[in-house]
């Protein structure tokens, strides 16, 4: 029995190109793994067996014909936030439980063009609002390292599926840490690109000025391959940046000697955020590793970063309160039974179709934008956003990358924080500033605390994804944390 | 009612501001590639963006921006270097996203102005506060669908320019004059087809009253979606009357939206339990600021066509039309195009203007149709006038010919031919008529010869009658005079 | 910042959400807590700071005025809760 699940995308791609395995065989293999193991994890909402095999057959033909792109035939799982033509796209919500999208997101189109086979759609926090994957209408996702623990969120299904090797790689989206935090909790590598690098068209919007899609995989080099396919200018997205896409795999092997790493003191001195000492120590060990590779560690300041959580909880809810107004039971999605009038149709369809966390955020946003409060909340938050962003700009005058923990602690237990939204929000304390500024950032696995993975965050300047991937890849050449697999899914 | 009977509303002064919605004549929608053509089957001109599927994003139509700038240049307004789209949040079934993409604090066109002509011929300048780009909503069809309302989103996403005036108008007539002026302008510069039946050009009116001489404004009511010039005047007047009666009876005007019911000729409150609408405007994060350069502004200014007032002046200066005729003709782009064709074909601008402002306009008004619906097109009309110029028919006969043409009986030449209306220019034939009339009326003829000039009319009339109007009156005159010698 | 049940009702109305009477107090508590968290923003004086609504100083790109999308009513209405004669149906709208 071949152990395809122990292979990275980089390896599988080479095997496919060499004809050592067919896409159909590979796709069947992962579909079987999902069938056999996902009941423990609940990481998929929809498995696309038929479509996947059809795409695999097509890929095999292309491979045979030669000159097929690198990812041809590689099976990947997509977060259920991307609209997929003819396939249910639920966004983790009862609101869209019956929604078969009539069109493809640009990310899906791009991946398809690159030859990727879609295994299925992964579970997620409802409308990407959550940090634990517990707000999903389809139930909580479990962390493969400890089935009692959360996988993080909102891209929890994507992280869990890759960690358990039910898929060689996946796509995710990150509005306040939704790729990096689950990647850290599940011990995989995840990249949130620069805002505007990957098209948002067809990606169901949570907070439009913060949302960004990115790859989640076993390694930095896998993420580079996936980003090559995902990224690019899209004329259907006004916020997409008209800038050519470099080959993200090209610079992976650049040596790190002389690399200047900034360490924001606010991310290490964190006494109030419940920073776990062992997690911090693990991150520091990784920093030592970088030092030994020739990098220079420089303390920097991001003085306004402590305000990123409050700012985020104005900006994101405000944008989402409008973004989610389209779910009204009229043209698609959930519609309540026997509405007695128009208002009843609206309020019950939305009240019954959205979960509690989504409703909370919509209300916070509606409040923050309402007459008399706009300046105090929304405008103030937008001003602070400027300050937070300027902090990064100043820092990158001095350093090449910034490193910090991804989360204050390892994956917490399912149910632990569900009654206390604020403590849940604070688990994103280290990841949010990146989204407010729009810069790219990664999470890479750097060790374990009590058997649970620890992630380290690498933040880069605008459009420096290649630099981040290079920095992460070099570390992964020296360590094997990213190769660890949970016992139960080996 | 007493005060309302007074043409100037007694001691009350009326204050009116208009918000005009002009649909921009783009091919595709403001944020999607769906067609804007009117009259398609319901929901067949909607894209994923227009029905607001999850995940879709807006991309701004270049031509919509171009047209807005054109308007700004035409009214000498400030066209903003930087303008921003905002979301206006409210729930309504014809608004698929639950918000309308509009512009709020940073509109594309800022302060400008336009002159209107008052009834006494004076000019008055009306300020245009701003004009901003936004998307139109769909339509709710209230015919009964098993007790439900049907929603058609074909119109959703059609670009609109909302033109907001200052509260500078003091009567319904001024409001109509202003609205007509804007209506003419948007057609001249080619940004709106002006079709009011199809809703391409609509208007909301903010109406308030205050005691004459008082500086601060009274509380205003907003009259929604008035779609004809006649209704604007009636709706405003009926609302003014309501407000004055209300105040004089000790009541207070409430700030609210009211709907004009043209059947009952009354305005009524639209949403009784409307909580002062809180639209929660904020900059749309899916769209970036629109930047307009000085170079672009100048380029658009340079390409502006001749504007109504310029054209009017040219008609006066170059074609020697009266100010009145020139004004009437240029008040409508379609009418002035019609005139241009007729004048060119006939080579007689004066005659063309007289007939267009006279006979043609009278017929249009009688049937309440616009020039583009006239059954006689400019070429056919020109032929008719040419037949007057070349003496084939008299002006009087020409009116009958026009009537026949109007009824679809063919071209001027066809009608003249088939009805045998061709003027008799054969001197012999006319002379025979003249001789006969003189023979029948000897005493009258003596009076004429005796210097009673009034008798000339009698004789010409008799000859014309005998010839069934076909004799050339000038020739008749001449012949009678020759008989008197 | 404290939000009471009446205010929750008002916001819910604005956001078109039907919330059970019994859930109101917990929404009030949670929203109050969130607003307390948000109130930390007031610690920084932002007078004169330009608000940032986008990560970049980018400019809106403009699309050519071309019709590129054609009738897909059948696809779109296949997923609609209620339609008739090509129209989406909603309970009677009264002005």
Over residues A157-199, the pLDDT tens digits come to: 999 999 999 999 999 999 999 999 999 999 999 999 999 999 9
Q: Is the peptide bond before B370 cis (omega within 30 degrees of 0)?
A: no
Report the residue from B33, B275, B280 with minimal CB separation from C67: B33
Return d(Cα A181, Cα A456) in angstroms, integer: 10
Of A109, A115, A113, which is closest to residue A16 (Cα–Cα)?
A115
Q: Which residue of C has its CA nearest to B99?
A: C15
Strands A260-264 and A401-405: parallel
Distances B49 to A155, B62, B65, B314 between C-alpha atoms, Å: 26, 17, 19, 46
Q: In which residue are the tokens 């305005």 written? A: B267
Query: For the stretch B120-145, what's the b/e string if a residue is b when 16 or more beta carbons lie within 10 angstroms of its beta carbon?
Result: eeeeeebbbbbbbbbbbbbbbbeeeb
Return d(Cα B154, Cα B50) in angstroms, integer: 8
State whether B285 and A235 contact (CB < 8 Å): no
> pLDDT band at residue B1, thresholds of 50, 70 and 90?
very low
Asked whether A255 and A230 are in contact (CB, 8 A), the reply is no
The two three-digit tokens of residue A420, written as one number: 């206390």
Q: Is the ipTM of this complex over 0.85?
A: yes
Asked whether A408 and A431 are in contact (CB, 8 A), the reply is no
Name the average pLDDT for chain B.
92
Of A361, A301, A300, which is closest to residue A129 (Cα–Cα)?
A361
Query: For the stretch C28-41, what's the b/e string if a residue is b when 16 or more beta carbons lie within 10 angstroms of its beta carbon?
Result: bebbbbbbebbeeb
State whether B150 and C89 contact (CB < 8 Å): yes
State whether B282 and A322 contact (CB < 8 Å): yes
Which residues in chain B are contacts of C60 at CB distance < 8 A?
60, 287-291
Of B189, B267, B264, B284, which is closest to residue B226 (Cα–Cα)?
B267
Distances A23 to A10, A64, A78, A113 between C-alpha atoms, Å: 14, 11, 17, 15
Q: Are residues B361 and B277 in the same domain?
A: no
Which residues in chain B are contacts of A91 at CB distance < 8 A?
54
Total domain count, chain A:
1
Torsion of CA B326, B331, B334, B338, to 10 degrees: -10
DSSP string, C12-37: HHHTT----GGGHHHHHHHHHHHHHH
**Mean of the pLDDT values across residues C60-85?**
97
- Asked if the structure places residue A157 within a domain, the reply is yes
| A332 touches B at CB < 8 Å | yes
Q: Are residues B257 and B381 in the same domain?
A: no
State whether B285 and A378 contact (CB < 8 Å): no
Q: Which residue among B298, B329, B357 closes a domain?
A: B298
Q: Are residues B98 and B241 in the same domain?
A: yes
- Cβ atoms within 10 Å, residue B404: 18
Strands C87-91 and B148-152: antiparallel
B464 pLDDT higher than 90: no
Residues listed for chain B: 485
- Asked if the structure places residue A487 within a domain, the reply is no
- Asked if the structure places residue A307 within a domain, the reply is no
Q: Which helix (H) or strand (E) holds B178?
A: helix B172-188
Q: Which residue among B243, B270, B298 closes a domain?
A: B298
Report the residue from A310, A340, A366 with minimal CB separation from C41: A310
B76 pLDDT higher than 90: yes
- Asked if the structure places residue A462 within a domain, the reply is no
**Mean of the pLDDT values across residues B290-305?**
97
Report the residue from C44, C56, C75 with minimal CB separation from A307: C44
**Mean of the pLDDT values across residues C55-75?**
95
Q: Which helix (H) or strand (E) holds B319?
A: helix B308-319
Q: How far away is chain C from the Cα of A314, in angstroms, using its nearest Cα?
A: 7
Q: In which residue are the tokens 């920093």 written? A: A287
The residue range of the domain holding B366 is: 306-418
Strands B99-103 and B112-117: unpaired
Q: Are residues B14 and B161 in the same domain?
A: yes
Q: Are residues B363 and B231 in the same domain?
A: no
Please report how many Cα atoms fall inside a 13 Å half-sphere around the Cα of residue A103, on the Cβ side.
Answer: 19
B237 pLDDT higher than 90: yes
Across the B:C interface, residue pairs with CB atoms under 8 Å apart total: 124
Which residues in chain C are contacts of B288 at CB distance < 8 A?
54, 58-61
Q: Which residue among B370, B389, B418 closes a domain?
A: B418
| C22 touches A at CB < 8 Å | no
Report the residue from A310, A325, A364 with minimal CB separation from C31: A364
| C28 touches A at CB < 8 Å | no
The angle subtended at Cα B83 by Cα B81 and Cα B86, nearest 5°, is 175
Asked whether A95 and A354 are in contact (CB, 8 A), the reply is yes
Q: In which residue are the tokens 């020109």 written? A: B382
Residue to mutate among A239, A367, A387, A462, with most C CBs inside 10 A, is A367
B454 pLDDT higher than 70: yes
Return d(Cα C12, Cα A366) in angstroms, integer: 9
> What pLDDT, on the 0 to 100 scale, is given for residue A484?
97
> pLDDT band at residue B91, thresholds of 50, 70 and 90?
very high
The CATH code of the domain that includes A193 is 3.90.1300.10
Q: pLDDT of B345-397, one tens digit each?
A: 999 999 999 999 999 999 999 998 889 899 999 999 999 999 999 888 888 88
**Mean of the pLDDT values across residues B438-445?**
90
Q: How far away is chain B from the Cα of A335, in angstroms, using its nearest Cα?
A: 13
Q: Are residues B255 and B360 in the same domain?
A: no
Q: Are residues B142 and B176 in the same domain?
A: yes
Q: Are residues B134 and B218 in the same domain?
A: yes
Total domain count, chain B:
3
Range list of H helices, B39-112: 62-74
Q: Are residues B244 and B103 in the same domain?
A: yes
The residue range of the domain holding A212 is: 4-258
State whether C63 and B60 contact (CB < 8 Å): yes
Asked whether B401 and B451 are in contact (CB, 8 A), the reply is no
Q: Are residues B84 and B225 in the same domain?
A: yes
> pLDDT band at residue B269, thresholds of 50, 70 and 90?
confident
Which segments in chain A show pLDDT lower than 50? none
Q: pLDDT of B390-437, one tens digit each?
A: 888 888 889 999 999 999 999 999 999 888 888 877 788 888 889 999
Contacts of B479 (CB under 8 A, 6+ apart): B427, B430, B431, B434
Q: Are residues B212 and B294 in the same domain?
A: yes
Q: Are residues B398 and B432 in the same domain?
A: no
Reduced to 3 states (helix: H, G, I; strand: E, B; else coil), residue B432 is helix
Q: pLDDT of B5-61, one tens digit each?
A: 445 788 999 999 999 999 999 999 999 999 999 999 999 999 999 999 999 999 999
């Amino acid at each position: 029995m071949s152990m395809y699940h122990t292979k990275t995308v980089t390896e599988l791609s080479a095997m496919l190109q060499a004809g050592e395995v067919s896409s159909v065989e590979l796709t069947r293999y992962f579909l079987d793994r999902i069938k056999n193991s996902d009941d423990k994890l609940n990481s998929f909402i929809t498995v696309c067996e038929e479509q996947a095999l059809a795409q695999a057959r097509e890929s095999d033909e292309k491979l045979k014909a030669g000159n097929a792109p690198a990812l041809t035939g590689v099976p990947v799982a997509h977060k259920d936030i991307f609209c997929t033509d003819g396939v249910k796209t639920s966004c983790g919500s009862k609101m869209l439980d019956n929604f078969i999208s009539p069109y493809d997101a640009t990310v899906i189109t791009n991946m398809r063009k690159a030859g990727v086979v879609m295994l299925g759609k992964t579970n997620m926090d409802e409308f990407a609002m959550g940090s634990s994957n517990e707000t999903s209408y389809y139930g909580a996702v479990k962390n493969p390292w400890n089935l009692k623990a959360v996988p993080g969120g909102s891209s929890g299904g994507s992280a869990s599926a890759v960690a358990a090797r039910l898929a060689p790689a996946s796509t995710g989206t990150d509005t306040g840490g939704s790729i990096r935090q689950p990647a850290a909790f599940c011990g995989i590598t995840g990249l949130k690109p620069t805002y505007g690098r990957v098209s948002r068209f067809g990606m169901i919007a949570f907070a439009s000025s913060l949302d960004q899609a990115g790859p989640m995989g076993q390694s930095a080099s896998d993420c580079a391959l996936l980003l090559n396919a995902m990224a690019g200018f899209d004329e259907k997205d006004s916020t997409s940046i008209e800038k050519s896409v470099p080959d993200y795999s090209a610079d992976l092997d650049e040596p790190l000697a002389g690399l200047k790493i900034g360490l924001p003191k606010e991310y290490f001195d964190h006494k109030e955020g419940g920073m776990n000492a062992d997690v911090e120590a693990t991150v520091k060990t990784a920093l030592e590793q970088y030092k030994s590779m020739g990098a220079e560690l420089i303390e920097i300041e991001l003085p306004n970063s402590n305000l990123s959580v409050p700012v985020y909880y104005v900006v994101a809810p405000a944008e989402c309160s409008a973004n989610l107004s389209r779910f009204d039971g009229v043209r698609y999605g959930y519609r309540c039974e026997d509405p007695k009038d128009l208002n009843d149709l609206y309020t019950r369809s939305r009240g019954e179709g959205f979960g509690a966390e989504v409703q909370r955020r919509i209300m916070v946003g509606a409040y923050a934008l309402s007459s008399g409060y706009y300046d105090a909340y929304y405008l103030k938050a937008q001003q602070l956003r400027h300050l937070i962003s300027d902090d990064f700009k100043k820092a990158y005058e001095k350093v090449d990358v910034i490193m910090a923990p991804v989360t204050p602690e390892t994956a917490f237990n399912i149910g632990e924080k569900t009654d206390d939204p604020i403590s849940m929000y604070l688990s994103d304390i280290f990841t949010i500033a990146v989204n407010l500024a729009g810069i790219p950032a990664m999470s890479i696995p750097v060790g374990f605390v009590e058997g649970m993975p620890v992630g380290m965050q690498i933040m880069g300047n605008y459009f420096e994804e290649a630099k981040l991937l290079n920095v992460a890849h070099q570390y992964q050449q020296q360590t094997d944390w990213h190769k660890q697999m949970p016992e139960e899914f080996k | 009612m007493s005060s309302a009977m007074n043409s100037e509303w007694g001691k009350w002064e009326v204050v009116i501001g208009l918000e005009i919605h002009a649909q921009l004549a783009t091919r595709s929608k403001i944020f999607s590639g769906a067609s804007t053509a009117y009259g398609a089957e319901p929901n067949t001109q909607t894209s994923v963006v227009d029905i607001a599927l999850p995940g879709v994003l807006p991309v701004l139509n270049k031509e919509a921006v171009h047209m807005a700038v054109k308007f700004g240049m035409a009214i000498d307004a400030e066209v903003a270097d930087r303008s921003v789209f905002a979301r206006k949040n409210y729930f309504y079934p014809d608004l698929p996203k639950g918000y309308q993409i509009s512009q709020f604090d940073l509109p594309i066109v800022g302060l400008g102005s336009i002159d209107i002509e008052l009834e006494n011929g004076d000019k008055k300048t009306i300020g245009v506060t701003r004009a901003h780009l936004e998307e139109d909503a769909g339509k709710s069809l209230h015919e009964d669908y098993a007790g439900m309302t049907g929603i058609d989103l074909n119109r959703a996403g059609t670009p609109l320019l909302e033109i907001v005036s200052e509260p500078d108008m003091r009567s319904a007539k001024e409001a109509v004059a202003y609205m007509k002026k804007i209506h003419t302008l948007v057609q001249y510069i080619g940004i709106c087809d002006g079709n009011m039946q199809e809703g391409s050009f609509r208007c909301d009116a903010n109406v308030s009253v205050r005691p004459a001489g008082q500086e601060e404004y009274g509380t205003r009511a907003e009259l929604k979606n008035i779609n004809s010039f006649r209704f604007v005047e009636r709706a405003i007047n009926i609302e003014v009357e309501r407000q004055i009666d209300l105040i004089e009876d000790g009541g207070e005007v409430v700030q609210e939206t009211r709907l004009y019911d043209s059947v009952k000729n009354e305005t009524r409150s639209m949403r009784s339990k409307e909580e002062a609408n809180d639209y929660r405007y904020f900059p749309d994060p899916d769209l970036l600021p629109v930047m307009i350069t000085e170079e672009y502004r100048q380029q658009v200014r340079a390409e502006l066509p001749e504007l109504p007032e310029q054209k009017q002046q040219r008609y006066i200066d170059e074609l020697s039309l009266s100010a009145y005729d020139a004004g009437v003709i240029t008040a409508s782009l379609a009418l002035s195009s019609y005139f241009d064709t007729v004048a060119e074909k006939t080579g007689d601008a004066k005659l063309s203007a007289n007939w267009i402002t006279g006979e043609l306009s009278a017929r249009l008004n009688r049937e309440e149709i616009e020039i583009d619906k006239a059954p006689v097109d400019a070429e056919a009309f020109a032929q008719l006038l040419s037949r007057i110029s070349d003496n084939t028919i008299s002006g009087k006969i020409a009116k009958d010919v026009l009537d026949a043409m109007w009824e679809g009986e063919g071209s001027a030449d066809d009608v003249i031919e088939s009805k045998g209306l061709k003027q008799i220019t054969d001197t012999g034939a006319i002379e025979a008529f003249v001789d006969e009339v003189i023979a029948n009326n000897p005493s009258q003829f003596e009076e004429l010869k005796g210097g009673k000039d009034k008798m000339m009319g009698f004789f010409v009339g008799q000859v014309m009658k005998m010839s069934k109007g076909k004799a050339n009156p000038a020739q008749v005159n001449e012949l009678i005079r020759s008989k008197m010698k | 910042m404290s939000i009471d049940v009446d205010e929750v009702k008002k916001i819910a109305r604005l956001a078109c959400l039907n919330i059970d009477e019994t859930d109101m107090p917990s929404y009030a508590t949670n929203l109050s807590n969130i607003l307390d968290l948000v109130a930390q923003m007031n610690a920084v004086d932002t007078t004169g700071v330009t608000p940032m609504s986008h990560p970049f100083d980018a400019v809106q790109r403009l699309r050519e005025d071309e019709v590129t999308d054609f009738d897909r009513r059948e696809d779109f209405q296949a997923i609609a809760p209620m339609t008739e004669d090509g129209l989406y149906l909603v309970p009677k709208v009264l002005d």
